[in-house]
Structure 1
Amino acid sequence: MPSLLDRMLLLPSAILALSASHALASLLEARASNSTTVPAPISIAPDENWDGIDGQWSTFTLRVGTPQQFVRTLASFTSYQTWVVLPQGCLSAADLSSCADSRGGLFNQSASSSFDEIGIYDLYTEQNLGYNGNAEYGYEIVGLGGNGENGPTLNHTVVGGMAVVDFYVGILGLNPKPTNFTSFNEPSSSYMTLLKEQQYIPSISAAYTAGAQYQSTGVLASLTLGGYDESKFIANDIEFTFAEDNGRDTLVAIQSIRTPSQIVSSPTAVELLPSPVYALIDSTVSEIWLPRNSCLAFEYVFGLVYDNVTELYLVNDTTHQDLQSRNPNVTFTLGQGLAGGSTVDITLPYAAFDLTAMSPYQGLSNTTNYFPLRRAANDTQYTLGRTFLQEAYFVVNWEASRFNVSQVQWDQSLQQHLVAIPPGAASSLTYPGTTATKPSSSALGGGAIAGIVIGAVAGVALLAGLLFWLLRRRRRAAKAAEQDKLGEDDAVPHGEAAARPEMREQLPTVFPKFELEGSSPMPRDSEDKRLLSAGSTASGTPGTLNAPSLGYFIPGGGSAHSPTTPTTGEGTHSSTQSGHGTQSSIFSPLSTSTASEADSRERHVYEMPGDMPTIKEKDGKLLSEKEAMAHREMVYNGVESAPPSATAVNESPRQPPRRVNPEDVVQAETGDHRDVHRAFSFEQTRKDDSSGELYE
């Protein structure tokens, strides 16, 4: 029959087996849950129209209100609301019908029975680029696609009715951020969030390319929600992560912008970007916004002329014909950082920049050719708009905070191939051209692996605890046996065990715990609950000598005191005893300060406080410590601390000790003469001694 110890040693294996079985059960349960149908991505069919006054852009139709009113919109990855043009947007137009058609159709909120008015608020989006305006917001029914397309229809979505010209055509907001009208406690969900919550799409993600009217007979835009169209791009393995700025999250580093040289003898490409910059990919606007020095390089290479009134690069007929005949291309090199790392090249032909502007864009009165390049005032305006997205395929996964940019594939013979982006921020998410794949259904999932690891760790910990307990028990038994051999007199009886010898072996060995002075925690009722860092307040990398400790702050901006090295006569102590006030100090774990070992000096130890007073000078000589100790031995014990043979050179022999009897210590007065007898005196009475004392 196995012993108790053998059975306990088998316990970790049993726990491990139980954990494995539980993990496998979780895996089977996960497989069962995975059998639930995952919705497929939605491809939004574009219109056959080309709308806009800053170029000709492919749009998407929405069904808004009850009864349905049809409006054409542009896709925006920055806006998180749906914007439509109100009839007030064409009040000043000579031809209301023509204006309504040029603006993608109008939405009359008063004719919709389902419009729930909220109020008038600023549009806010693109304010950094100088776009301004407001809209009348409300909750409304919005459906994707035109009449008969049967796209998903959502109730209670945020819709803003506008009349400004900065946004001439309506906007389909794809950003999933919610809208807060009154407070942050009651946000209104975005259109993308509602699509995911109502299981119309597998994840909050979208893919888009703006289309190109110059390609063939005109290639329309492509918009996929919850996935991407694999037939629309040339795959690459560059995956970008979101920037920290919530309003400019899809930032890319433009490491280079170059164009082929027009000089045959010097074929080296011309650099159009003097220094790398970060820019936002934003489909809401049409232009490309770059630093002024980069715009000047474009002017020089392409012969562009900047119009100060409209702030546009207007192209006259002569320049237009010259650029068309040259047909230069421009290549953007994008990366995650400003230098190095993996990069992707997006090449735009001159036709992508050959756009037409119409009134009232930027105050124009006539239709004219223009180059969609804008001078940015600062780095918050660096933007790659729809002009760039004519040749770039843009995929954004907001759940994983990642995105991809690829060159558009213009092979029209390829059939549409939609790929769903799975939900969540797991590493198995796939992107265009990335090698990441979904885990095999036969492999252990994360929960199963975690269960096995936890079981194994628990088994090892239990086995280690059992071995420690056995070793400790054997040591205690051996110690008890040794004490029995020494006899009962060697034991230190206390309490009940002193009266009962058989309990002596059960007495635990207790070691008193000593705490370093200054290491006690701050009292709970302390008025000063600040956490002070023991490190420097200078900025630096956390964990370095110059970095402040993480997780600690210094109220008022003051610097925290570090534990100080004590001076002579002081012991090891905290900053509370170093003249820095009385507040307690809690040291940061990242502090570089180390406690000194006492003060590295030998300190004099006296038997009793006050035994060795300060000795006054005698005959102009300061008594040494050795002489003081000799005097103490002579007075208290009647002996000298050193043997007679230890008489120093040039030193008179020591006199025999004078015995002092208590009855000899008296005070006698005869007339005006006072005779003082000193107890503990090793001098003869000096008449010129007026103090009558030798000690302080």
Structure 2
Amino acid sequence: MLAQLLFLLAGYILAINARYTYGSALDARADSTTTIAAPISVTPDQNWDGIDGTWSTFTLRVGTPEQYVRTYVSFASYQTWVIIPQGCSTAADESACAENRGWLFESNASSTWERVGIYDLWIEDKLDYEGNALYGYDRVGLGGQGEGGPSLRNTTVGGLAVEDFYLGVFGINPKPTNFSDFNEPSTSYMTQLKQQSLIPSVSFGYTAGAHYRYTGELASLTLGGYDSSKYVANDVVFTFAPDNERDIMVAMQQITTPSQISSSPTGTQLLPNAVYAYIDSTIPELWLPLEACQAFEVEFGLTWDNVTKLYLVNSTLHSSLVQRNANVTFTFGQGFTSTDTVSITLPYAAFDLTAQPPFRGLQNSSRYFPLKRAANDSQYVLGRTLLQEAYITVDYEVSRFKLAQVLWDQNAQMNLVAIPAANVTQNSTAWTSPLFGDSVSSPKSGSGSSGGGIGAGAIAGIVVGVIVILAILAALLFWRHRRNKKQKRISMDEKTLNNDTNSDAHSDAATGTVFPKAELAGSEPILFGMTHHDADRKGLLMPPNSRMGTPGSPGSPSSHYGTDASSPHPSSAGEGTYMSSGSNTLLSPLSNITEADSKSIAIYEMPGDMPSVKEKDGRQLSEKEAIQRREMLYNGVDSSAGVTPTSDNGEEPPREPPRRVQAEHVVDARTGLAAGRHRAFSFEGAEGAKDAFGTGGSGL
């Protein structure tokens, strides 16, 4: 054994020598052949969807066999959300509802679906978007039928039935999902793409598209890079904000619109004070401070509707705004006083949206201006309205992003540019990012002589390494010798002990030990038509005003930058029930799917909990008999059949030896007597036997 270890040590030393001798040449060769994956351009639908406007969507293939759903792109979400059949079960026309909601996903029809439980949606909680989803793991592919986009297994999928999110979303945030404090996080779709070398980095480029441009300009989504033909280039780079949930933040310095007064050409200021705002494609509106909203009201004649909480636009106002054709310019910087700024200009057409029922409780279709009154700075959000005219590129690996005006050029050819991972090097030199214009340092070979010989530092390192390895080897050999000696002594002691106490050894089966069985509480969803009272009998409903937990708790799936699991681990936590809101709107699904207790509760039946059932003679039943008695009373199953009774001390009574028939005991039917030994019956004499059997010997 020692010789083998020494041989391995010699080989290791030679390997170190070769590494230092030829390291420079090997490094240069590796760098010269470094390649990165190409970015993925996700093809948008030809559809324009939404009850809160007209938006370009993307088709996903979910489940096995594949089911097709249309979704929005979400920067905030790290999951894939789809609409489930419960979202259209109360609609007057279920098929029309399914079409309007981007088609439905039936988890029961997917052979690869793994259910996790029901959790709060969490994102957009600060904007009063409420609801939760039935979560699980399933296969998700990019693009519609025949488009050939990648398909990944074990991705996190949430099934929605609420109306706040009327279509599903495709989350491109790379953060993992954590369903409880006790499970490993579930890897996001973006991270899986990178881990499988399908994209070079967790980055993307996106613009929401504009239905009012040309004949309708569709959205553009690039994963692992960006499309340089889609925007007007600038040199402004933004860094992520420290808030993990609101990372893509910009300082909104100004909002202006051209003046209508010819004598005063200075634009009108619509933002009294600079604020920080979060860019989020999940929602359509622009959430601004109340003072800014009031400035919009004065400038454009908008009226706030207290019932729907919308700026509804009637036909007269709409005609006036179309004729004016004003535009609004947003100016962004890294900070309030930054001189490097980016301006995004939106025409009035970008604000000319149409809402349909049941959006915000509307009963009829109505034009509206996508502006919302924010209650505080946590609600300052810029949604898809801005991204109709803005192209955003985000690199999560370096926590930076860029914002630019969309370039409207119908003749422009797609030009996809990959964003390499932060640790990618090329040609042993510092690599310059084509997006951010800075350098990513790369490791280089040591600065030894050009001849490639081993320097003094390398030799010293080898000597120290050899000494350390020999010391470790000696310690291991000493430890192994002591362990073998100790194990040998313990084995001898155990052998002696077993010989002395062999008669005392008993198995669990022999002693009749009963181990308790854990019975998990059932937690199936409340079906339509089932009342709260019916569900409450199962003890699954929460108080009406109760809320779920915070991120990281079992109550809601959270995200964090922790250790990513290579594959998701489904949990039994989160099993709950649907709770109907009782809404009577036309397309009213279960608006409040509520998790009951965040996790299943195991009910353990301990032996001490068995009933003390006594027989009529007062003898207390044994533990085994008590279990059988309980089975008969509660389950109607008599498990005592064929069971040997036990004595009072719980042991089986001794069995009588089997009776065997001896030859001398056989009775002669003709005489009625045994073979000369004794009589078989208590009759006196042969005559009694004869009377008993009859005459002539034919009684049998």
Paired AA for residue 69 in structure 1: Q
Map of 2:671 onto structure 1:
none
Partner residue of 1:606? none
**Equivalent residue for 1:96, pick from 83, 94, 97:** 94
What does residue 380 of structure 1 align with?
378
* Structure 1 pair 456–277 and aligned structure 2 pair: CA distance change class (3 A): farther
**Equivalent residue for 1:54?**
52
Question: What percentage of aligned pairs have identical amino acids?
Answer: 61
Q: Which residue matches 1:501?
A: none
Equivalent position SS for 2:193: helix
Paired residue type of 2:277:
A
Aligned equivalents of 1:412, 1:436: Cα separation in 2: 31
Q: Could you tell me how far 1:431 is from its partner in structure 2?
A: 5.3
Partners of 2:355 and 2:381 lie apart in 1 by: 19
For 1:19-418, list aligned pairs within 5 A: 25-26=23-24, 28-32=26-30, 35-183=33-181, 185-418=183-416
Could you report, residue by residue, the CA deviation over 1:442-479 in whole angstroms, capped at 9, with x for unpaired residues? xxx53337889xx99998xx9xxxxxxxxxxxxxxxxx
How many angstroms does 1:182 deviate by? 2.4
Deviations 1:293-346 (A, max 9, x none): 000000001111111111110011111011101111111110000112311111
SS of match in other structure, 1:446: coil
Kindly state the Cα deviation for residue 436 of structure 1 after the two structures are TM-superposed. Answer: 3.9
AA at the equivalent of 2:233? A
Residue 419 of structure 2: which of 418, 421, 433 is its match?
421
1:23 and 1:451 in contact (8 A); partners too: no
Q: Residues of 2 paired with 1:275 and 1:316: CA distance?
A: 30
* In structure 2, distance between residues paired with 1:366 and 1:457: 81
SS at match of 2:319: helix
Give the distance between the partners of 1:120 and 1:256, measured in 2 at CA.
Answer: 42
The 2-side partners of 1:140 and 1:285 are apart by 25
Letter paired with 1:110:
N
Do the aligned partners of 2:20 and 2:454 also contact (CA within 8 Å) in 1?
Answer: no
2: CA distance, partners of 1:458 / 1:252? 52
Given that residues 422 and 429 in structure 1 are in contact (C-alpha distance below 8 angstroms), is that contact kept between their aligned partners in structure 2? no
Residue 379 to residue 25, structure 1, CA distance change in 2 (3 Å): same
For the aligned residue pairs, the C-alpha RMSD in angstroms reads 2.6
Shift of 1:91: 1.2
Report what 1:447 is aligned to.
444
Structure 1 contact 400–425 (Cα < 8 Å) conserved = no
Give the 5 Å matches for 1:435-514: 435-436=437-438, 445-448=442-445
Does the aligned pair in 2 maintain the 1:119–1:138 contact within 8 Å? yes
1:430 to 411, 428, 433: 433
Aligned mates of 1:168, 1:187 — CA distance in 2: 27
Whether the 8 Å CA contact 1:77–1:174 is kept in 2: the answer is yes
Q: Which amino acid aligns with 2:153?
A: N
Give the C-alpha shift of residue 26 in structure 1. Answer: 3.9
SS at match of 2:320: helix
Q: Following superposition of structure 1 onto structure 2, how do residues 582-593 of structure 1 map, counting pairs within 5 Å? A: none
CA contact (8 A) 1:179 1:189 kept: yes
Q: What is the SS of the residue equivalent to 1:161? A: strand
Amino acid paired to 2:168? G
2:324 partner amino acid: R
SS of structure 2 residue aligned to 1:447: coil
Structure 2: runs of 5+ lacking an equivalent: 1-15, 425-429, 461-700
User: Following the alignment from structure 2 to structure 1, what is the Cα–Cα distance between the partners of residues 105 and 374?
Assistant: 34
Distance 1:267 1:425, change over 3 A: farther
- CA drift of 1:349 comes to 0.6
Instruction: Assess if the C-alpha contact under 8 Å between 2:48 and 2:55 holds in 1.
Output: yes
Q: 2:131 is matched by which residue type in structure 1?
A: G
Aligned mates of 2:434, 2:39 — CA distance in 1: 14
Distance between the aligned counterparts of 1:347 and 1:401, measured in 2?
Answer: 26
Contact 1:137 1:160 in 2 (8 A): yes
CA distance in 2, matches of 1:423, 1:239: 18
Distance 1:334 1:76 in 2: 21
Q: String of CA shifts for 1:565-611, please: whole Å, max 9, x gaps.
A: xxxxxxxxxxxxxxxxxxxxxxxxxxxxxxxxxxxxxxxxxxxxxxx
Q: CA separation of 1:379/1:206 partners in 2, compared to 1, >3 Å: closer, same or farther?
A: same
Distance 2:38 2:113 in 1: 30
User: Which AA in structure 2 matches 1:114?
Assistant: T
Secondary structure in 2 aligned to 1:300?
A: helix
| Separation (CA, whole Å) in 1 of partners of 2:28 and 2:74 | 37
> How far did residue 136 of structure 1 move?
0.5
Given that 1:233 and 1:393 are in contact with CA atoms closer than 8 Å, whether structure 2 keeps it comes out as: yes
Distance change (3 Å), C-alpha of 1:451 and 1:411? farther
- Displacement after TM superposition at 1:27 (Å): 6.4
TM-score, normalised with respect to structure 1: 0.60
Q: Is the 8 A contact 1:205 1:397 kept in 2?
A: yes
**Aligned equivalents of 2:454, 2:342: Cα separation in 1:** 45
In structure 2, the CA distance between the partners of 1:258 and 1:143, relative to structure 1 (3 Å rule), is same
Change (3 A) 1:323 1:111: same
Secondary structure of 2:328's aligned partner: strand
Aligned length: 437
In the aligned structure 1, how far is the partner of 2:235 from the partner of 2:282? 26
Deviation by residue 1:546-566 (Cα, 9 ceiling, x = unmatched)? xxxxxxxxxxxxxxxxxxxxx
Question: Given residue 430 of structure 1, which amino acid in structure 2 is its aligned partner?
Answer: S
* CA separation of 1:282 and 1:425: change in aligned 2, threshold 3 A: farther
Q: 1:236 to 1:163 in 2, by over 3 A?
A: same
Aligned 8 A contact 2:21 2:454 in 1: no
Query: Per-residue deviation at 1:373?
Result: 0.4
Aligned partners of 2:24 and 2:446 also within 8 Å: no
Specify whether residues 36 and 92 from structure 1 end up closer, same or farther in structure 2 by C-alpha distance, changes over 3 A only.
same
The match for 1:548 is none
Q: How far did residue 40 of structure 1 move?
A: 0.3
Quote the offset at 1:424 in angstroms: 1.3
Deviation at 1:428, TM superposition (A): 4.2
Return the letter of the residue paired with 1:314.
L
* Mapped partners of 2:279, 2:373: distance in 1: 16
State the 1:37 CA deviation: 3.7
Q: Who is 1:483 aligned against? A: none
Tell me the amino acid that sits aligned with residue 278 of structure 1. Answer: Y
Flag the structure with more relative contact order, 1 or 2, with Cα contacts below 8 A and sequence separation at least 6. Answer: 2
Pair 1:34–1:245, CA change in 2 (3 A): farther
The structural deviation recorded for 1:244 is 0.4
Note if contact 1:137-1:158 (Cα within 8 Å) is conserved in structure 2.
yes
Structure 1 residue ranges, 4+ long, deviating more than 6 angstroms after superposition: 449-452, 455-459
Per-residue deviation, 1:38? 1.8
Distance 2:171 2:28 in 1: 35
Q: Distance in 2 between matches of 1:341 and 1:34?
A: 40
TM-score if structure 2 supplies the norm length? Answer: 0.60
